[in-house]
Structure 1
């Protein structure tokens, strides 16, 4: 309501955020939170493998260094860019929600940024000083300590962000007593943290196993030792991952678990939900299977054998992130802000007065006989464009065509009657934030989209239109009238 409507009609706004966020979380979990402690642990094992006149086992140390190099390059390039990309995309597409979260978690995010900067400094020190640390035992021990400090810093950033992610799904008692502590101790915080932490370790183990087989020669003792060590790591974290997943699932509110099938793949893919569940289970199972083989038959493990477990493990987290992003519908912040960025407490006003009257950025402020098509477009942008497109992914036209005879002309009266009640039939949809006239205008616009096949442009190409009631001149005149009325009293 308070920001212009950026819109990508070919992709879908929420898909932009979800795509960037999912890639970032996969890298963050698999190659930072989980991978740094794994690498540090393996580097530490090099000390135990060293000979009498060695500081560390140099061959082992070189292989572990190469593993860290891969993680360092990916995290400081793609990981860093997607991290910034989340902020840019959220600021464009969901500014009200990100603004609300900043107000609640300002000091938490402030702390997270301090820890993050520390993490960046530590990873630079840890990687760039690796070779020099082999000059003395004291230097090597100090270098390993930097690795553990880096691992702790990476995990601390997760502990803070997970609180925010859990809050978005279920704020708990924050609505009745809004403060940072109540926001931070939401019901999903500990269950989600208990799942994400071991999952990150499991992903790191599977990916580390792949790198270990790539950077060592087949049949060598160093490969077998590396495979056995990393296999133990995977087996250690697998049961904790399973426990965390079950705890987290049971903590999710019942209304959200009912959205699971839609959340996994939108309505187009809901029928494949059962298959996706098996795919997710397969991610953990394959990791354990390859680890057991690696532990007892390390010699037979080759890189191609680890590729599939890596793909399944990373895809598992990807599906989880997609579910987490969409399962909280109809809210973007549970029980507080709907997915179209309108506050739950304001919905009664919008349904009585109409959403156009209270919108800052709109070319019309009420529906008339002459502007129904234009009004409908404005209503769509305000109420629907966060999740739907005109002709792209999750097209509103496609949605209604599936409901009312696919491929046939849509009936305006039927849509007009359905739109105000759609929330009751599909509880993942927010209530329609408009009056009867606006429901009709929206239906007319959706029919126009079907007939014309035109794409919807956002403010980035169409420009910004301001409600005539909210221009600077109108606001000044309103204030002057208020002052004059007070003077008359």
Structure 2
């Protein structure tokens, strides 16, 4: 491990990233990528109906405000949290995709400039210039999509690097086997989410009953038009997923946690389609029922996106970069060296190099920090204590049993990386894990680097 490790024991490192990343993805997909296109289409309708123009501007203001504040902050937050939690993965991706990220940054800056210009000139470009303003909106939509298209290549690379594993070229990394299928899935998904977000704006905007009926039909048709493409993209994406990830997906479907989520998403999608059909065929008069119906698709699409991202992260395990970097931050090619010498010998930010009987417990804590805390907490979310309690019950845990389990855990739980260290480190880790059965001491992670034995602690007082 080349970097010091941050650990948030109550919330968990992976949940920290999930909260930031899913918030960012929902905003960028719904309000930027899909949102700018539906706004440009509504502004085009406004060339012939001023009420469409007013509603399009109000929608743009809502989307503009959120994307340039929460969207931008969570975008930076992804970099910050990922650099803390798994710095090796970010460093590896930067080495491969430096120029792609540089280009994406240029697209993002262009997107911000265009959205500011687009909003500020809305009421100034009138009459003959109004068509030029509509074209500006479509250019903004294209720039937003290009930003996503570049990032999707990196997300797909993390699932399946393809030929990059052998030739290490930027082009093979960018045009990886899952890139186009995932882009074909995310593009219509963004458009569908944009429709749900526009419904949300319409629900809380004062407009005439006649316009509300027209807008409801337009947004409903927009969603229905993109749904077939979303289905085709989903199928293509599913077929492109490697067999190992399909196995993880099957594992997920056997757990009550994931099964209940999938059923919930399926039921809500069916309900959403029925609501959209109802709105398309009948229209709904203004009132509380109308607002509830319009808000429903937005909520459903957020749930769907959250579960999709959660499932994508799960099936990618045990890797954070497919067949290259494990989720624990250790490179696959480094395993033979680490399993021979041990990880403590090669980790720069540890205080113990050689394990003895006197320091075995403290060494086990160091090993736990290096190998387990990317995914697990001690007593928080995805707690290792809870996992072991389910496996071994409340009776005293056995060192030999846990040591043996650590050697084969990746075979019984295929989404977990193999243990990267040697035999002594497995025994030390097992001893530390057993100490947690009755310990209430919080795990502070990076804050206690350099303090590993009682003698060390006394010296720091």
TM-score by length of 2: 0.94
Query: Are the counterparts in 1 of residues 385 and 436 from structure 2 also a CA contact under 8 Å?
Result: yes
Q: Distance in 2 between matches of 1:273 and 1:449?
A: 28
**1:456 matched to 2:450:** no
Query: Are the counterparts in 2 of residues 375 and 442 from structure 1 also a CA contact under 8 Å?
Result: yes
Aligned to 1:38: 38
Aligned to 2:27: 27
Q: Distance in 2 between matches of 1:81 and 1:31?
A: 15
Off by >6 Å, runs of 4+ in structure 1: none
Q: Distance in 1 between matches of 2:117 and 2:420?
A: 53
Shift of 1:279: 2.4
Query: Are the counterparts in 1 of residues 199 and 295 from structure 2 also a CA contact under 8 Å?
Result: no
**1:226 matched to 2:211:** no
2:428 to 434, 441, 446: 441
Query: Are the counterparts in 1 of residues 351 and 449 from structure 2 also a CA contact under 8 Å?
Result: no
Query: Are the counterparts in 2 of residues 279 and 316 from structure 1 also a CA contact under 8 Å?
Result: no
Shift of 1:300: 4.1
| 1:72-124: CA deviation from partner (whole Å, max 9, x where unpaired) | 11111111110000000011111110110011111111111000100010111
Aligned to 1:426: 413
Query: Are the counterparts in 2 of residues 163 and 184 from structure 1 also a CA contact under 8 Å?
Result: yes
Q: Distance in 2 between matches of 1:143 and 1:463?
A: 57
TM-score by length of 1: 0.88
2:103 to 111, 116, 129: 111
* Mapping of residues 64-75 of structure 1, within 5 Å: 64-75=56-67
Q: Which has the larger radius of gyration?
A: 1
- Relative to structure 1, the CA distance from residue 142 to residue 128 in structure 2 (aligned partners, 3 Å threshold; closer, same or farther) is same
Aligned to 1:7: 7
Shift of 1:207: 1.8
Q: Distance in 1 between matches of 2:70 and 2:147?
A: 18
Query: Are the counterparts in 1 of residues 317 and 327 from structure 2 also a CA contact under 8 Å?
Result: yes
Q: Equivalent residue of 2:357, what SS?
A: coil
Aligned to 2:347: 359
Aligned to 2:398: 411
* Mapping of residues 67-466 of structure 1, within 5 Å: 67-133=59-125, 136-217=126-207, 220-260=209-249, 270-300=255-285, 302-405=290-393, 407-459=394-446, 461-463=447-449
Query: Are the counterparts in 2 of residues 330 and 428 from structure 1 also a CA contact under 8 Å?
Result: yes
Query: Are the counterparts in 2 of residues 234 and 288 from structure 1 also a CA contact under 8 Å?
Result: no
Which has the higher mean CA deviation after the structures are superposed, 155-164 or 391-400? 391-400
Structure 1: segments with no counterpart, 5+ residues: 50-56, 467-489
Shift of 1:409: 2.3
Q: Equivalent residue of 1:258, what SS?
A: helix
Query: Are the counterparts in 2 of residues 22 and 321 from structure 1 also a CA contact under 8 Å?
Result: yes
What root-mean-square deviation, in Å, do the aligned CA atoms of Structure 1 and Structure 2 show?
A: 1.8
Query: Are the counterparts in 2 of residues 354 and 366 from structure 1 also a CA contact under 8 Å?
Result: no
Query: Are the counterparts in 2 of residues 35 and 204 from structure 1 also a CA contact under 8 Å?
Result: yes
Q: Distance in 2 between matches of 1:465 and 1:101?
A: 32
Shift of 1:48: 2.5
Query: Are the counterparts in 2 of residues 373 and 444 from structure 1 also a CA contact under 8 Å?
Result: yes
Q: Distance in 2 between matches of 1:441 and 1:262?
A: 30
Shift of 1:241: 0.8
Shift of 1:262: 6.2
Structure 2: segments with no counterpart, 5+ residues: 453-461
Which has the higher mean CA deviation after the structures are superposed, 205-214 or 414-423? 205-214
Aligned to 1:53: none
- Relative to structure 1, the CA distance from residue 222 to residue 277 in structure 2 (aligned partners, 3 Å threshold; closer, same or farther) is same
Q: Equivalent residue of 2:233, what SS?
A: helix
Q: Equivalent residue of 1:85, what SS?
A: helix
Q: Distance in 1 between matches of 2:141 and 2:440?
A: 52
Number of residue pairs matched by the alignment: 449
- Relative to structure 1, the CA distance from residue 106 to residue 464 in structure 2 (aligned partners, 3 Å threshold; closer, same or farther) is farther
Q: Equivalent residue of 1:332, what SS?
A: strand
Query: Are the counterparts in 2 of residues 216 and 222 from structure 1 also a CA contact under 8 Å?
Result: no
